[in-house]
Amino acid sequence: MMVENRAAQNPGIPIVIETALLGCGLPSIPNEVIEQELARHQGLILVWVEQGRVVCGGVEQFLHHRPADGWKRLDGRRVKDALDKKNSGYLTVSGVMSLFTSSPVIVVTAGMGGIREGMVSQDLICLSRTEACLIATAPKDSVDLEGTLGYLRAQKVRTVGVGQALCDGFLFRCGPVSLDGSWDVGEPPARSWGSGWVIFNPLPAELRLKDDIVLAEALASAGRACANGEDFHPAFNRVLDEMTAGQASYLQLAALVRNVELALKIGGADPGEGRLFAVDEGTPETTARNDSECP
């Protein structure tokens, strides 16, 4: 397998941004806005699969592939198949975590996957199997919040909220569900790397969407799209974008930027020379090198 490392080299725990949201989840936001919001932060890595190669690059390099015909979301189940078939795609949270299995990593997203209609997201499964720290705003509004957090607790994945020990929704507010604890920005995370954990960094209540009819229609429309073979989450985001005149997309981007800034306060950087990361079960480990191409 080929890996290209196009990101800047810095010491520390890697900060990696999932690319599924940026690649196919923000339909009304132009590349210029995404670059303006993210490019000012140094040491970020975006990871995607390009013609069967894992590419670690910066914001500018990634945006050359947004939008890209034929590129799909790759979760933890789909990465190896995409590599074997020389396909291209954007990585979800679980897609990223399936690559970084040999060392700690901070993965950044906006809304994370969860349990929807009894189906368990690969995000949850990968968190229970890796040393990743995930920084998210909340589980997506399309999932069962209580069931999702209960699953993480049962898998011994620790959940904490920034300044509060509860989670009350992502873009919309819902009934609060208890977390394992709270965490204050500026305090070093009191844990050792050894299992997955999640820091929830909620959006302020005044910024969130308030029309539950919009949420219900987006869920119904995405369900129909999923029945016709589409991925659920891009369809869900597309309807939210249309029904809110783009507000939902800009709110998700704002959530992602807030989480990137939190990750930088915790501390992390690009996987420097010699740091190993592996692609799921049965795939050879690879090393990100400074020569931009790795076996």
Q: What is the pLDDT of residues 104-134, one digit of tens each?
A: 789 999 999 999 999 999 999 999 988 889 9
Using an 8 Å Cβ cutoff, are 262 and 268 in contact?
no
Mean pLDDT on 238-249 = 98
Helices 31-38 and 247-266 cross at an angle (nearest 10°) of: 20
The CATH number given to 2-280 is 3.40.1790.10
Q: Check pLDDT > 60 for residue 75.
A: yes
pLDDT of residue 292: 26
Q: Characterize 234-244 residue by residue with b for buried, 16 or more Cβ atoms within 10 angstroms of its Cβ, and e for exposed.
A: bbbbbbbbbbb
Burial status of residue 224 (CB atoms within 10 A of its CB: 0-12, 13-18, 19 or more): exposed
Residue 179 binned pLDDT confidence (cut-offs 50, 70, 90)? very high
Query: What's the average model confidence in pLDDT over 193-198?
Result: 76
Instruction: Please say if the pLDDT value at position 9 is more than 60.
Output: no
C-alpha distances (whole Å) from 177 to each of 142, 144, 157, 204 are: 15, 11, 16, 16
Distances (CA, A) of 79 to 86, 173, 210, 248, 269: 10, 33, 36, 28, 23
Share of the chain above pLDDT 90, in %: 72
Say if residue 272's pLDDT is above 50.
no
pLDDT tops 70 at residue 242: yes
- Are 62 and 109 within 8 A, CB to CB? no
What's the pLDDT at 51? 96
Please tell me the distance from the alpha carbon of residue 162 to that of residue 177, in angstroms, as a whole number.
14
3-state helix, strand, coil in the chain (%, to 5): 35, 20, 45
Identify any residues that bridge with 111 across adjacent strands, giving them in sequence order: 138
Ranges of each domain in the chain: 2-280
Q: How confident is the model at residue 277 (pLDDT cuts 50, 70, 90)?
A: very low
Label residue 279 by pLDDT band (50, 70, 90): very low
- What residues have CB less than 8 Å from 151, skipping those under 6 apart? 114, 115, 120, 124
pLDDT of residue 131: 80
Q: How many angstroms separate the CA atoms of 128 and 131, rounded? A: 8
Q: Which amino acid is at 31?
A: N
Cβ contact 256:109 at 8 Å: yes
What average pLDDT does this structure show over 221-229?
95
Cα separation, 113 vs 139, in Å, equals 6
The answer to whether the predicted template modeling score (pTM) of the entire model surpasses 0.85 is yes
pLDDT above 80 (res 286):
no
How does the average pLDDT of the chain come out, rounded? 86
Half-sphere exposure for 291 (CA within 13 Å, toward CB): 6
Quickly state the pLDDT bin for 268 (edges 50, 70, 90): low
